[in-house]
Structure 1
Amino acid sequence: MLIRSGICADADRVFALVRASVLEEQVHDLNTLEDLPTREHERKWVEMLEQAPEKVLLLAESQGDVVGFISFNNGHLKRLAHQGEISISVKQEWRDQGLGRQLFLALFVWAEKHPRIEKLSLQVVATNMRAIHLYQALGFVEEGRLQRQVKIAEGQYIDLVFMGKWLNRDIK
């Protein structure tokens, strides 16, 4: 397993992974097929992450196949640049094998090299207990919850949980 920085040339493979994840997850993913970005939008997103010094896309690759990714995107506003949002996706057949944990650990190593980054944040649907347990094991704590924020179907809602992790830095 190779974990490396994503580049523009990876955009189509990232797009395919996201599309497959949406098809497989149904309930745990916030996106629907109608919400997915176009390939061009995905290319621009990967390019933006590649070129910005305090943003990153890390890919997990096995035998040339992208099997997972994690991204970090901090705010462009000065007062929000110390923190940012994480997004993660792992191919279904690679889950429950420690790949998500490996991607997070690689992100933590990357974040430690960027002194401005102090806090990592993410959102997860409350029913995705496998993910929540992983995030808690990695030091994330629940910071808030929006009740019935995600509408799955008519009359069927799920809470959206906000979680954060402060990096081991002197917070002043």
Structure 2
Amino acid sequence: MIITKKDLTFKIRLAVHSDAKNLSLLRVKIDGETENMDREEGEDFIDQTGFEKIIEADTNHPRTLFLVAEMDGKLIAYSRCAGNDLKRFIHKAEFGLGVLKDYWGYGIGRKLLEATIAWADNNGIAKLELYGVLETNTRGIDLYKSLGFEIEGLIKKDRLLSDGNYYNTYVMARFHEDGG
């Protein structure tokens, strides 16, 4: 899917094996650009081989979707939706995304999320969940709400950020009534 927004043209596509090295670098960079992510730069590092394994597993799993946004051959964002195989949780999947800060405001996160929602709705996934949405991430919260997500819960003092203060996070979810 090719999208033009403002003066930017980007493509959203499935992650492939050859993306692994660039995904490793992209994840580290995004983690270092904002405190909205779970990790600080370099924490919980996944190398090229690790991403190759994730991409292979996701490609072969019917309830998991790994997308990337690419511009001029460069990865600028990613999203991953991971389903569950346990029968009591088979109706839901957890979603997360990251966009390079230079590309905020171009609708890339929205397009990744819209593609994921369409995929989930067409694949019997009734509930998409987001964990650890930082309470100060108003742009993210507004985006999620605009696409049907609701706040389901508050986790108090869930994050310790660089200013030395604790911050609350939200659990958010979108429920598609007929599940696909």
TM-score, normalised to structure 1's length?
0.90
- 2:73 corresponds to 1:56: no
RMSD: 1.8
Residues 120 and 165, structure 1, Cα contact 8 Å, conserved in 2: yes
- Counterpart of 1:72 (choices 56, 60, 81) is 81
* 2:161 match: secondary structure: strand
- Counterpart of 2:50 (choices 31, 37, 41) is 41
* 1:120 match: secondary structure: strand
- 2:172 corresponds to 1:163: yes
Q: Sort the Cα spacing of 1:151 and 1:168 in 2 relative to 1 into closer, same or farther, 3 A.
A: same
User: Where does structure 1 lack aligned partners over 5 or more consecutive residues?
Assistant: none
* 1:89 match: secondary structure: strand
- Counterpart of 1:121 (choices 124, 129, 136) is 129
Alpha-carbon distance in 2 for matches of 1:21, 1:160: 19
User: Where does structure 2 lack aligned partners over 5 or more consecutive residues?
Assistant: 1-9
**Number of paired residues?**
169
Name the aligned partner's letter for residue 17 of structure 1.
Answer: L
Deviation at 1:28?
1.3
* 1:35 match: secondary structure: coil
| CA distances 1:17-67 after superposition (whole Å, capped 9, x unpaired) | 111111111x21111223223333222222211111110101111111111
Aligned to 1:83: 92
- Counterpart of 1:24 (choices 22, 26, 33) is 33
TM-score, normalised to structure 2's length?
0.87
Alpha-carbon distance in 1 for matches of 2:108, 2:160: 29
Residues 118 and 166, structure 1, Cα contact 8 Å, conserved in 2: yes
Residues 90 and 100, structure 1, Cα contact 8 Å, conserved in 2: yes
Name the aligned partner's letter for residue 60 of structure 2.
Answer: Q
- 2:104 corresponds to 1:95: yes
Name the aligned partner's letter for residue 39 of structure 2.
Answer: N
Runs of 4 or more consecutive aligned structure 1 residues displaced over 3 Å after TM superposition: none
Q: Sort the Cα spacing of 1:148 and 1:3 in 2 relative to 1 into closer, same or farther, 3 A.
A: same
Name the aligned partner's letter for residue 91 of structure 1.
Answer: L
Amino-acid identity (%): 28
- State how 1:135-146 maps to structure 2 within 5 Å: 135-146=144-155
- 2:18 corresponds to 1:9: yes
Alpha-carbon distance in 2 for matches of 1:160, 1:3: 28
